[in-house]
């Protein structure tokens, strides 16, 4: 078992570091795609609402903005939940290990 000296930091497991890095990379890519899809949905739905409904520009703009935000949020939500679960798992494991070294 690893002993914790008062002047040193805890050394993380390389597998845990790789898991967190991979999850963070997936999160970044998912948010990038979500922003692009959300912006595309906003622009397309503004045009589609103008052709389909007889709405003014304000109503059409707000409706398309809400739809674009919904698309972006629903696309990035799963990646955020996955990253949160990985980070929580690593933090819990490290906390248990540090507590066992303190006792």
Is 66 inside a domain boundary? yes
Is 16 inside a domain boundary? no
Is 31 inside a domain boundary? no
Return the pLDDT at 23. Answer: 87
Is 1 inside a domain boundary? no
Return the pLDDT at 67. Answer: 95
Is 61 inside a domain boundary? yes
Is 5 inside a domain boundary? no
Angle 22-95-98 from CA coordinates, rounded to 5°: 120
Is 53 inside a domain boundary? yes
Q: Output the pTM of the full model.
A: 0.69
Mean pLDDT, 10 residues at a time, the chain of 103 residues: 59 84 89 93 93 89 95 88 89 83 73
Q: Which domain holds residue 72?
A: 37-102
**Distance, first Cα to last Cα, the chain:** 12
Q: How far apart are CA 101 and CA 93, in angstroms?
A: 13
CA dist list (Å): 41 to 16, 55, 71, 76:
37, 18, 7, 15
Structural domain total, the chain: 1
């Amino acid at each position: 078992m690893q002993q914790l000296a008062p002047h040193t930091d805890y050394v993380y497991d390389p597998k845990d570091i790789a898991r967190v890095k991979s999850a963070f990379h997936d999160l970044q890519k998912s948010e990038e795609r979500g922003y692009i899809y959300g912006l595309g949905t906003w622009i397309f739905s503004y045009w589609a609402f103008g052709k389909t409904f007889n709405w003014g520009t304000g109503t059409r703009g707000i409706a398309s903005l809400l739809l674009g935000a919904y698309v972006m949020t629903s696309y990035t939500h799963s990646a955020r939940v996955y990253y949160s679960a990985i980070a929580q798992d690593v933090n819990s494991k490290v906390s248990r290990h540090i507590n066992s070294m303190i006792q």
